Amino acid sequence: MVNYEGKSVTSGGDVSSGNMIFEPILEDGVFRFDCSVNDRHAAYPSISFVNSKDRDTPITNDKVPSYTPTFQCLLEQQVVKLELPIGTSFYGTGEASGQLERTGKRVFTWNTDAFAYGPETTSLYQSHPWVLAVLPNGEAIGILADTTRRCEIDLRKESVIQFVAPSSYPVITFGPFSSPMKVLISLSKAIGTVFMPPKWSLGYQQCRWSYLSDQRVLEVARTFREKRIPCDVIWMDIDYMDGFRCFTFDKEHFRDPKSLVKDLHDNGFKAIWMLDPGIKQEEGYFAYDTGSKNDIWVQKADGTPFIGDVWPGSCVFPDYTQSKARVWWANLVKDFISNGVDGIWNDMNEPSVFKILTKTMPESNVHRGDSELGGCQNHSFYHNVYGLLMARSTYEGMILANKKKRPFVLTRAGFVGSQRYAATWTGDNISTWEHLHMSISMVLQLGLSGQPLSGPDIGGFSGNATPRLFGRWMGVGSLFPFCRGHSEAGTNDHEPWSFGEECEEVCRLALKRRYHLIPLIYTLFYFAHTRGIPVATPTFFADPGDPSLRKLENSFLLGPVLVYASTVCSQGLDKLECTWPKGIWLSFDFGDTHPDLPALYLKGGSIIPVGLPLQHVGEANPSDDLTLLVALDEHRKAEGFLFEDDGDGYEFTEGNYLLTHYVAELQSSAVAVSVHKTEGSWERPKRRLHIQLLLGGGAMLDTWGMDGEVLQIILPSEEEVSKLVSASEKQYKERLESTIQIPDVEEVSGPKGAELSRTPIELKNGEWVLKVVPWIGGRIISMMHIPSGTQWLHSRIEVGGYKEYGGTEYLFSGCAEEYTVLDRKLEHAGEEESVVLECNIGGGLVLQRQIYLPKNAANVIQIDSSIIARNVGAGSGGFSRLVFLRVHPTFSLLHPAESSVSFTSVDGSTHEIFPDGREQFFEGNLIPNGEWRLIDKCLGLALVNRFNVAEVFKCLVHWDSGSVNLELWSEGRPVSKQSPLRISHQYEVVRIP
């Protein structure tokens, strides 16, 4: 057995609850809290802080915290609670799906391969035990639970933040400060700022799992140039490798990676290649042999290397908690870079392990970590920082390869502080409108948690995007800090030209728009790197004290630019309703108005730099013209900044850059635009400067001159300005009306491709008449028992009825999702009336339901429900995400006072449940023994529901006003093609005494 090193944990010392003790650290307004002095001394080193000593070293001041957390230690868990004023809004919690405003949510920090996650998924790929709280008056406070272990962040109680994690750990509060921005700036001083990205990494990036040959890669690159769609980077997923062995190349399809990269470079592209942590266990494979020689693998509790299945088969895993393992990996990366590698993509580094229900390695595994990280610990201690440490090792390897170039690393797994080494994306999302909508909040939450360089897989990773969905997603995704399109194997092509001419043109316009704004985005990243200011922020940052802005989820700020996007299929820009923060907000575009593109507004008082719409960031611009968009505030003034350097390397840290502070001011009847001051030794380019003064409604005045000179624009009279604005608004409206929206061509699911029926399907036999509507969740809306004349289902077309849920995270089907009718009146022996329905629920899964009325049992309805794996995707190892099947009928109570549910359990106990407005679960031996009854004593009838006990994990009775849900739940587990989830059940009406 391994002898563990490190400090013992006191679990609160001799105190089990009370107020936490504090000491000021870092700077004014930042406090460290511990349960006791003993706990403070016993705390493990901070991995989230840039310098762990900053957390452990008190500073001298006489300030006391405005809010003090309380703690309670129970069963080796430390519960920390911070109560704030009513009306406080919560944000942050890191990489989290679902709503922007986090009140009512609960998150668990446990890095998880969360393929095809939903809005209620509680653990994703990264862990950030951090909450940003905006107080009712607009001030803000942040709180960090500085623990690497699994941590529950519970925000379900209004204005109360609660962390629950194994004892003992400190919490750090930042503020309250006057604004949420100041909290984030303070946080960055503790955990570090984002690495300064090379300028080329801010262009559009094209990826797929996978481009299967170097010829296909070059074909994609050539098509971008031929179609004049801007793009800077092509990505290589795992299939470039020889048998998925990291640091190798497929000898047939990627025979000469240096030549491939040279061709890409000659055409203005960079190349990014994937590296996973799983190293194939194979003697003779250099990575395995050298790693074994250096003894750097994660171990099992018995001291032998842990072996788990990933893409190459049996794999060992580097223990990045050891400096010798990080050096070993960094040197492999250094050699790998010599092939012309421009950037590296770290995937599967939660770490993800196949053929295991938890999808990761056992928590009993052992990491022989450096003392400054926490020493020798089991995997539960280091799990959440495994991806961060891998990204750090990769980053350091790229620096070893070339100290004059900035590394670019993308990581899937991360922790607080990983922004110092890597960008991130929001993982394996789904091609749905819901995921488009959610991508905005997810990017913003990461920014509010210290990770400003992020974005989603544009168009969705899993499933097939429709043309309108893809175009709309590109419209908003082109304005995220990180901009990459990516899709999984087995889906349709998802390059911008793959969806028809209208979508291609929208993508071209959207990406040109991004390239116009590259000077602004690059400047914002300079401020993010040097000051800790987020690149994209929620709309309420414009006025934190305005509660009406705090829940806005279809808009965000890119510096002073307000982006408003539609995430509703039927609602284009022409129907978009906007809520503006206080102040002046002037609309602008680049002559690219389109219903499927977002609306852009510039805040009054701002100047932003705008470039030409180049093919790619590195493309030479012969004229080097620069445009400044100017929007005056109510005082007729404006200001803005432009950061410039060579776009790569570190000379900017030695002063070789140019930061220009431009100002504009109305002087008499002219607006003068000039350079107020500059920083840095970079020589100002000799270039023309184009000033565009926004007037409102898209109208503008402009002038040309030389950059560095004072330029003036004469303002016309108010009447003339009004005419210009009216004319511009009219032209804008006409352009919108004359532009054709992208058609929303839906792909119908299922192998037969049958068209959806828009007429309810009716099934009928001697005792039953059923009506099914495929276009609204495949719902059964009518279940009429002919002999008694009783309608058992409580429903209208839009609500109620019989439906199904699939997945532990959220409602997949039964709400508005369309089912495909696969077959009707099947000619199966013993069946008279039958229909098979199917709905794509993402992630390679379908929810299938067969409804039939058997010939030999005219008194029975049979329903067989299943979750089937058709094409489970990347990261799954043949298994889907964790799912369960929930049969959810809503039955009518014609006589509630005379109704009840009765059954005999598996253990022989009898139960009779009467309406009381409650929800009751029955599990284990308490579930019905294959049958339960909904009884109406007034009618003298019972609806009998029979089912296969082996397929049902628990049952639910939920009473409501005039209705009851009798639900059957399967177990929750991943499914494969060989292991679907099923619940087979039937209904019959019987007479009772």
Q: Same domain, yes or no, for 205 and 181?
A: no
CATH number of the domain to which 966 belongs: 2.70.98.10
Encode burial over 492-506: b for 16+ CB neighbours within 10 A, e otherwise.
eebbbbbbeebbbbb
Q: Which of 139, 237, 350, 832 is catalytic?
A: 350
Q: Same domain, yes or no, for 186 and 204?
A: no
CATH number of the domain to which 324 belongs: 3.20.20.80
Kindly state whether residue 927 falls inside one of the protein's structural domains.
yes
Q: Which of 113, 152, 239, 428 is catalytic?
A: 428
What was the pLDDT predicted at 449? 98
What was the pLDDT predicted at 311? 95
- Over residues 431-470, the pLDDT tens digits come to 989 999 999 999 999 999 999 999 999 999 988 899 999 9
Q: Same domain, yes or no, for 151 and 269?
A: no
Coil vs helix vs strand at 971: coil
Q: How far is CA 621 from CA 232, 615, 617, 888, in A?
A: 15, 10, 10, 61
Please state, as a whole number, how many other Cβ atoms lie within 10 Å of the Cβ of residue 960: 15
- Over residues 164-178, the pLDDT tens digits come to 999 999 999 999 999
What was the pLDDT predicted at 352? 96
**Given a cut of 70, is residue 833 above it in pLDDT?**
yes
Q: Same domain, yes or no, for 79 and 166?
A: yes
Give the closest residue to 442 by CA, choosing from 107, 865, 727, 893.
107
Cis peptide bond N-terminal to 176, omega within 30? yes
Query: Cβ distance 953 to 935 under 8 Å?
Result: no
702 part of the active site: no
What was the pLDDT predicted at 575? 81
347 part of the active site: yes
What was the pLDDT predicted at 241? 98
- Over residues 634-672, the pLDDT tens digits come to 999 999 999 999 999 999 999 999 999 999 999 989 999
Mean pLDDT throughout 584-602?
95
What was the pLDDT predicted at 29? 97
Kindly state whether residue 593 falls inside one of the protein's structural domains.
no
Q: What is the largest CA-CA distance in the chain?
A: 98
Q: How far is CA 821 from CA 282, 478, 741, 764, 987, in A?
A: 48, 37, 29, 17, 22
Q: Which of 139, 347, 396, 967 is catalytic?
A: 347
**Given a cut of 50, is residue 751 above it in pLDDT?**
no
CATH number of the domain to which 102 belongs: 2.60.40.1760
Asked which of 29-43, 168-182, 307-321, 615-629 is least confident by mean pLDDT, the reply is 615-629
d(CA 295, CA 288): 10
What was the pLDDT predicted at 883? 83
Cα dihedral 52→55→60→61 (10° resolution): 150
Q: Same domain, yes or no, for 893 and 801?
A: yes
- Over residues 532-591, the pLDDT tens digits come to 999 999 999 999 999 999 999 999 999 999 999 999 988 888 788 889 999 999 999 999
Q: DSSP character for 46?
A: P
β-bridge partners, 800: 795
What was the pLDDT predicted at 799? 60
Mean pLDDT throughout 256-283?
98
Say how many domains are in the chain.
3
In what order do the strands lie in the sheet containing 599-603?
536-538, 555-558, 561-564, 599-603, 585-588
What was the pLDDT predicted at 452? 98
- Which of 157, 191, 225 is the last residue before a domain boundary? 191
**Given a cut of 90, is residue 808 above it in pLDDT?**
no
Mean pLDDT throughout 905-928?
91
- Over residues 113-125, the pLDDT tens digits come to 988 888 888 899 9
What was the pLDDT predicted at 621? 58
What was the pLDDT predicted at 747? 41
- Which of 155, 173, 191 is the last residue before a domain boundary? 191
What was the pLDDT predicted at 810? 37
Kindly state whether residue 1 falls inside one of the protein's structural domains.
no
- Which of 139, 156, 191 is the last residue before a domain boundary? 191
Q: How confident is the model at residue 873 (pLDDT cuts 50, 70, 90)?
A: low
At 209, the amino acid letter reads W
**Given a cut of 70, is residue 105 above it in pLDDT?**
yes
The boundaries of the domain holding residue 42 are: 16-191
**Given a cut of 80, is residue 7 above it in pLDDT?**
no
Could you list the beta-strand ranges (E) of 4-60: 17-19, 21-24, 30-34
Q: Same domain, yes or no, for 107 and 235?
A: no
What percentage of the chain has pLDDT greater than the value 70?
92
What was the pLDDT predicted at 586? 97
5 part of the active site: no
β-bridge partners, 637: 665
Kindly state whether residue 69 falls inside one of the protein's structural domains.
yes
Mean pLDDT throughout 58-78?
94
* Backbone torsions φ then ψ of 334, nearest 5 degrees: -55, -50
